[in-house]
């Protein structure tokens, strides 16, 4: 997966890092009225993804039946 954040958005970059996103390049962009700022591109791979707790799926059978998937 990919994401990005302006480099002055420290909170967003910190949350992304906690999830396992890694830097994937910088892009200069125009924000607001002509302000040039750097945007940090990010990438998340299965190997870098940090899962804090197991994922539990409920209701899958009911959804399959509703969608007539068998």
pLDDT value of position 70:
76
pTM (global) more than 0.85? no
Counting beta carbons within 10 angstroms of the beta carbon of residue 30, is it exposed (0 to 12), middle (13 to 18) or buried (19 or more)?
A: exposed
Question: In whole angstroms, what is the distance from residue 68 CA to residue 43 CA?
Answer: 35
Structural domains in the chain, CATH included, are 2-66 (3.40.630.30)
In the prediction, which pLDDT does 52 show?
Answer: 86
pLDDT in tens, 9-67: 999 999 999 999 999 999 999 988 989 999 999 999 999 999 888 889 999 999 999 99
């Amino acid at each position: 997966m990919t994401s990005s954040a302006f480099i002055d958005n420290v909170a967003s970059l910190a949350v992304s890092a906690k999830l396992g996103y890694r830097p994937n390049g910088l892009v200069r962009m125009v924000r607001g009225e002509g302000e040039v700022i750097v945007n940090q591109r990010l990438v998340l791979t299965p190997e870098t993804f940090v899962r804090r707790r197991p994922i539990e799926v409920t209701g899958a059978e009911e959804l399959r039946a509703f969608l007539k998937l068998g």
